[in-house]
Amino acid sequence: MRILVSNCNTTEAMTAAICEQAAAAARPGTQIVPLTPSWGPESCESWYDSFLSAAAVLESVRAVAEPFDALVMAGFGEHGRQGARELLDVPVVDITEAAAHLACLLGDRYAVVTSLARTAPIIEESLRATGTWERCGGVYATGIPVLGLEDDVSETSAQFAVQARRAVAGGADVVVLGCAGLSGLHRELVATLDVPVVDGVAAAVGLAETLHGLGLSTSKVAGYAAPPAKRRVVPGGPPSSGGVA
Amino acid sequence: MRILVSNCNTTEAMTAAICEQAAAAARPGTQIVPLTPSWGPESCESWYDSFLSAAAVLESVRAVAEPFDALVMAGFGEHGRQGARELLDVPVVDITEAAAHLACLLGDRYAVVTSLARTAPIIEESLRATGTWERCGGVYATGIPVLGLEDDVSETSAQFAVQARRAVAGGADVVVLGCAGLSGLHRELVATLDVPVVDGVAAAVGLAETLHGLGLSTSKVAGYAAPPAKRRVVPGGPPSSGGVA
Amino acid sequence: MRILVSNCNTTEAMTAAICEQAAAAARPGTQIVPLTPSWGPESCESWYDSFLSAAAVLESVRAVAEPFDALVMAGFGEHGRQGARELLDVPVVDITEAAAHLACLLGDRYAVVTSLARTAPIIEESLRATGTWERCGGVYATGIPVLGLEDDVSETSAQFAVQARRAVAGGADVVVLGCAGLSGLHRELVATLDVPVVDGVAAAVGLAETLHGLGLSTSKVAGYAAPPAKRRVVPGGPPSSGGVA
Amino acid sequence: MRILVSNCNTTEAMTAAICEQAAAAARPGTQIVPLTPSWGPESCESWYDSFLSAAAVLESVRAVAEPFDALVMAGFGEHGRQGARELLDVPVVDITEAAAHLACLLGDRYAVVTSLARTAPIIEESLRATGTWERCGGVYATGIPVLGLEDDVSETSAQFAVQARRAVAGGADVVVLGCAGLSGLHRELVATLDVPVVDGVAAAVGLAETLHGLGLSTSKVAGYAAPPAKRRVVPGGPPSSGGVA
Amino acid sequence: MRILVSNCNTTEAMTAAICEQAAAAARPGTQIVPLTPSWGPESCESWYDSFLSAAAVLESVRAVAEPFDALVMAGFGEHGRQGARELLDVPVVDITEAAAHLACLLGDRYAVVTSLARTAPIIEESLRATGTWERCGGVYATGIPVLGLEDDVSETSAQFAVQARRAVAGGADVVVLGCAGLSGLHRELVATLDVPVVDGVAAAVGLAETLHGLGLSTSKVAGYAAPPAKRRVVPGGPPSSGGVA
Amino acid sequence: MRILVSNCNTTEAMTAAICEQAAAAARPGTQIVPLTPSWGPESCESWYDSFLSAAAVLESVRAVAEPFDALVMAGFGEHGRQGARELLDVPVVDITEAAAHLACLLGDRYAVVTSLARTAPIIEESLRATGTWERCGGVYATGIPVLGLEDDVSETSAQFAVQARRAVAGGADVVVLGCAGLSGLHRELVATLDVPVVDGVAAAVGLAETLHGLGLSTSKVAGYAAPPAKRRVVPGGPPSSGGVA
């Protein structure tokens, strides 16, 4: 099967790193198709970034010409997944929800460790929408900006471990990595911590493969039916006057 | 004071109708400044529309050169208000939250009557974010598309009244009009129903005036601080490399 | 318009201070009509005080002969507002709910800073009834009794600032002043803290003006219809055998 | 032991009927001491009635000279119990909470059947405060006023049975009688329905006896400590300048 | 009346201690009938223990030949009570729910102090099922294994007091003893702490007596009807092919 | 990998059918190892059955000599999964939670359609423990006993379709099949309904494969650590005096 994996920001290096993670998690025979949005922020660290990213990713997904069997949306805590569910007939799995759902199978309460504290309310809203917020023991922030997470992976890992231990002391028994494309960090944390560490990209790939394998996709009888045909002026292109599906 | 009132879609006639409503509700001395986003959907009736609209409105607000004292966001149930709170130092009031908060002062349980059923989950998410969802007795849909609401105001009003009465029979005692720019419909419903009918545009103008009058605006110590400076490629313009505030 | 502003206790000096706050917040043309209940406690600091106050305030409101256009109930966390909504046809705004609803427009999570710790559960119940409790980051107490709050405004302000900073450290980004009639304290806190500080009296006046301006008042179709006519023996007067409205 | 049983209204015949119910439920050796408040409404059917009643009952309890070992408050859904917990050192049991707690031991979901629909939100608030609201399958109303419940017990019983069956059809498996002093009605319903029917007065007497027998009473370390000493002008008497306990 | 009191584990000495507690709490005329399950764990300290215990206790209850009027299930936080409600026509009271419901009558928020931290999620699930979890201020653990609780009652008591004080500092005003059969510990804690300390065994006996006295028992119209007749292979006996009631 | 798939009841034919479903869903290379508990009920349709089943399944799992890489527990709504998480080091996936988590990726609100109405509260409790209850639109029952579900698959399918359509009319957009081992029924429903139909056995196999593939298993730092070593008398065997892991 072919899984389209969309980065939430315009940084190509992050798309590459995310798709490397995705490929490492995928089964033999699964092909990972990378997608970097053609506009939007270089990283998502605010509500403004997240809304900009949602529109840019949705437009970029619409513009993909080649067929694919599932979409994995790789922006931790970012907006947009419900829109993709409307636009597509294939399964859509966001890494935030993927990580949360798998984490619920591994322990009693999961915690998220992420970059900047200001993104915690955005992540919380995304987790609330999954329905698993009551299983969440909190969102912990290291204070490291997204684009600085790979500057010194050892230092980043040390800071993530500090927050993960705070979370465990506070009652969590599973840690979710609150960012994407950081397989080095994930490896170091797995080696450091004695609790399961869930990477959303790998989780989403596994869930997309499972849904595809079971022939399951988004329900189209209610809120996720294709959007009504209408005139939409979309950035960087002529107005679309037809339907969108 | 000057209140910037942003429509969520590109339909100029709706912007005009919304601003007429806003002006009718405003105190003497308040000036209404209309804003139609330069791109996006002609009406919002899906998650996809709503995310597209959020980005378009935020970019359009950023491009406003003239000063203003508050922003009223006139898209019922649409995304974006948290982003505007980050971008601006003046108060931001979304018509969904405005209607919900005022409705809580008028009865025990409010209900929303809106256009298409498919938008109910979007409106629900927006109301949940206000914190008043437990005061909401449900979102009722007439099945009339947004751009058809004014085709026959009497018929539209009759359909809204049917749903409003269902809501009251189900326990609601206040009705919120789940769309913007329909002062004729509002007037007819007020005349028809024996419960308070809250129009979000008027509510938001009143709240914006009150916040401005009390010298209150968005907290900047946490999640609504100005977004970090970074490179963002924004539709229809050169990349922005500076901060956004 | 004329706003009746009821103090929750019998201390005339507090009524005067509250009405001064109200007048400072009111628009030109709004007249503030003070009301001190003729019986009840000199301050409200317990469930017992709060229930005594509710009855006394409701009886005092019923006894007001002159017409008024709205009622503002100025007892932070005190009981009674639903009763006033039954008794009156004009809008009723309690300062607790007013502060909570406005605070929700200014940040992600508000906290209340108040006098004695023992009143926290009473305030919590009042906030739960508004529907905004999930937006509340807690009720913090300074330990200063109500009638001692003005003994040394600088010291009181220092203690409130200590609690407000604890609240912000705990995740709140908006502070609600959990008492009424303390404009000096409010001014000092606004100057001291870098988060919005919401005063319930001012908030309630603004909301009452807005509701009145929009022609909105309490729904009468359900729980807030006028109480049934019956015999009620009311303190300090002959039994009432007629209806109450 | 001696249990003080307070009616919530001034109707002596109801006090007598309530105390008859209480006595029938009490163990040998328990003495029931009736208390009718000296002022307040003749029945409670509104928020206004309930607040008036709360103050009147608390003042009447304070005026009781003879010793007692527990207080049972017999007003279904009415306010005041937290105030009584502050004023007294002996256990306080309200019939609303008593019925709800016992009902939770008898089935999966209980429903309340009561007099007027307008009291449902008041009862709901009282049940929410018990913490058992999520076990409640709803409040159903017969539309019969409190003082008319005994006009024709067979007809009243038939109406209560209709509502009880609606509740069971809606998922409840236990019925709580949402009023006090109606032992005839209770007997008829027990004979008619095939689900447990809980009478709050009997439940409260049983719980008061149990608490007393186990040497348990209200915690005084926090919100239920005796109210602070202060000047309170109480209806029908000279101002009280001392403490209240 | 005769109350069957079932221990959750196979330790006879604990059954004896529990029944001593039960007898001390019972009214004159109530007879306590002890039941030790014939198989299962010697103490319950894990989900595995709790599920093993639930089956063992239910089978042991089914095997009781002599008549009884109520069942008290004495395993704090353990599973099984819903099964017993199906199997029996007499009232069933679990000590966890009994303690929680009585605690709600004594303060604003109760806390549980128990043995091992690992049992906290099991206790939490049991309390959630009562519907009173929102009144619970947390489950605190001393780290002492169940079978070690009586090794040194003074030391155990000291450790429980430490945790109880933490709970009170965290906002609880009532303490629930999260284990059974420890009357010595209960006495020491009552003497040490200034908050009510609720023992579940005594609470359950009181509630069982009250339900029996009022003629109330489990509703049989829905989820607690007798289990369908079917073939069940039960441990240590021949298959049961008939119904179970 | 080898997945142990445990039936919750003693009916061998159901074990075979469940394992057929599991094998059909599994990836190439996954081996399904069937497990029928040696005691317990022949079907689970009550709390009593469920508790009996939980103990029997856990003992049967402990007795499995051959190695396996994951456990799938195939009893819809039945107890026991937390115990298995303690006993094993490999991933444990219950079909109830598996179906619920996957369903959350496919729509806005899922509904369960099951056999007897009396099992709805048991299923509800199991779903609440997953954390996804707020995404559940209800549990609908056909009234067909478990062992009668295959008597006439067309009729069973028709009844399930009736309930599924009621659920969709009530707002659900995804249907979860609330029983195991019915691949014929699943096929018919998929062909009949226009919403996704999730089979828990297939879902659990997919999730078990994903967890295993990602090297993730149950957290052992808190509530799911191996149960303490102690004496446990287990049915049909000599007492176990050692640890259990």
Chain B residues inside the 8 Å CB shell of A52: 55, 58-59, 83, 232, 234
Beta strands in E23-173 (DSSP E): 31-35, 40-41, 70-74, 92-94, 110-114, 136-141
User: Token pair of F18, please?
Assistant: 């469940």
Q: Tell me the DSSP string of C60-105.
A: HHHT--S--SEEEEE-TT-S-HHHHHHH-SS-EEEHHHHHHHHHHT
> How is domain D96-199 classified at the architecture level of CATH?
3-Layer(aba) Sandwich (3.40)
Chain A residues inside the 8 Å CB shell of F203: 210, 214
Say which CATH topology domain B96-200 has: Rossmann fold (3.40.50)
Determine the pLDDT at residue C181.
85
Phi/psi for B232 (5° steps) reads -130, 125
User: Token pair of A231, please?
Assistant: 């005139």
B60 touches chain A (CB under 8 A): no
Q: Do B101 and C104 touch (CB under 8 A)?
A: yes
CA distance A18 to A21: 5
Q: Do E222 and D194 touch (CB under 8 A)?
A: no
User: Token pair of F239, please?
Assistant: 């007492």
Q: Judge contact between C209 and C30, C-beta under 8 A.
A: yes
Q: Judge contact between B78 and B50, C-beta under 8 A.
A: yes
Determine the pLDDT at residue B62.
96
Helix, strand or coil for residue A93?
Answer: strand
- Show which of residues 161-180 on chain F sit within 8 Å of chain A, judged by CB atoms: 168, 171, 173-174
Chain D residues inside the 8 Å CB shell of C49: 227, 232
Q: Judge contact between F3 and F26, C-beta under 8 A.
A: yes
Work out the mean pLDDT of chain C and round it to a whole number: 95
User: Token pair of E185, please?
Assistant: 């510990």
Q: Per-residue pLDDT tens for B23-43?
A: 999 999 999 999 999 999 999
Q: Are strands C174-177 and C232-233 parallel, antiparallel or unpaired?
A: unpaired
Same fold yes or no, E2-95+203-213 and E96-199: yes
SS (H, E, C) F86-155: HHCCCCEEEHHHHHHHHHHCCCCCEEEEECCHHHHHHHHHHHHHHCCHHHEEEEEECCCCHHHCCCCHHH
What pTM does this model have? Answer: 0.96
CA distance A113 to A137: 11
Say which CATH topology domain B2-94+203-213 has: Rossmann fold (3.40.50)
Helix, strand or coil for residue F240?
Answer: strand
First-to-last C-alpha distance (Å) of chain D: 21
Q: Please give, rounded to a whole number of angstroms, the shortest distance from the CA of B119 to a CA of chain A.
A: 7
Helix, strand or coil for residue E109?
Answer: coil
Q: Identify the CATH class of A2-95+203-213.
A: alpha beta
AA letter at B60: S
Q: Where are the alpha helices (DSSP H) in chain F?
A: 12-25, 47-62, 81-87, 95-104, 120-130, 153-169, 183-192, 200-213
Chain E residues inside the 8 Å CB shell of D198: 216
Q: Do F203 and A219 touch (CB under 8 A)?
A: no
- pLDDT, average across residues E20-45: 97
Q: Please give, rounded to a whole number of angstroms, the shortest distance from the CA of D111 to a CA of chain E.
A: 13
User: Token pair of F14, please?
Assistant: 């159901």
B91 touches chain C (CB under 8 A): yes
User: Token pair of A181, please?
Assistant: 């494309």
| Buried/exposed A190-205: b ≥16 CB within 10 Å, e otherwise | beebebbbbbbbbbbb
D29 touches chain E (CB under 8 A): no
* Closest CB to E227 among F49, F59, F86: F49
Domain-by-domain residue ranges, chain E?
A: 2-95+203-213, 96-199
Q: Do F173 and A210 touch (CB under 8 A)?
A: no
Q: Per-residue pLDDT tens for E99-112?
A: 999 999 999 999 99
CA E236 vs. chain centroid, Å, equals 25
pLDDT along chain D (245 residues), means of 10: 98 97 96 97 97 97 97 98 98 98 98 97 97 96 94 94 97 96 92 97 98 98 95 73 44
User: Token pair of F108, please?
Assistant: 């806005």
Q: Per-residue pLDDT tens for F135-194?
A: 999 999 999 999 999 899 999 999 999 999 999 999 999 999 999 988 889 999 999 999
Strand partners, F174: F110
DSSP A34: E
CA distance C119 to C141: 8
Q: Per-residue pLDDT tens for C4-27?
A: 999 999 999 999 999 999 999 999
CA-angle at B118, arms to B114 and B124, nearest 5°: 65
Determine the pLDDT at residue E235.
75
What sign does the CA torsion over B173, B177, B182, B185 have?
negative
* Closest CB to C46 among D48, D86, D235: D86
Q: Judge contact between A100 and A162, C-beta under 8 A.
A: no
DSSP A147: G
Radius of gyration of chain B (CA): 17
| Buried/exposed F160-188: b ≥16 CB within 10 Å, e otherwise | bbebbbebbeebbbbbbbbbbbbbebbeb
CA-angle at E141, arms to E137 and E144, nearest 5°: 160
C214 touches chain B (CB under 8 A): yes
Higher pLDDT, B139 or E245: B139
- Show which of residues 125-144 on chain B sit within 8 Å of chain C, judged by CB atoms: 130-135
Q: Do B194 and C221 touch (CB under 8 A)?
A: yes
CA distance B46 to A228: 8
C54 touches chain D (CB under 8 A): yes
- ipTM value, please give it: 0.95
- B235 pLDDT band, cuts 50/70/90, is confident
Report the candidate in D181, D185, D171, D101 with the shortest Cα–Cα distance to residue D142.
D185
Beta strands in chain D (DSSP E): 2-7, 31-35, 40-41, 70-74, 92-94, 110-114, 136-141, 174-177, 197-199, 232-233
- Tell whether the model's pLDDT for residue A181 goes beyond 90: no
Determine the pLDDT at residue F113.
98
- Tell whether the model's pLDDT for residue B60 goes beyond 60: yes
- Tell whether the model's pLDDT for residue C34 goes beyond 80: yes
- Tokens 């007001």 map to which residue? C64
Q: Tell me the DSSP string of B24-60.
A: HHSPTT-EEEEE--SSEESS--SHHHHHHHHHHHHHH
- C183 pLDDT band, cuts 50/70/90, is confident
- E142 pLDDT band, cuts 50/70/90, is very high
Strand partners, A2: A31
In terms of Cβ atoms closer than 10 Å to its own Cβ (0-12, 13-18, 19+), residue F116 is: middle
Sheet containing strand C110-114, edge to edge, reads: C136-141, C110-114, C174-177, C197-199
Q: Do B39 and A234 touch (CB under 8 A)?
A: yes
CA distance D225 to D202: 28
Q: Please give, rounded to a whole number of angstroms, the shortest distance from the CA of B167 to a CA of chain C.
A: 12
Q: Tell me the DSSP string of E113-127.
A: EES-GGGHHHHHHHH
- Tell whether the model's pLDDT for residue E62 goes beyond 80: yes
* Closest CB to A219 among F173, F199, F214: F173
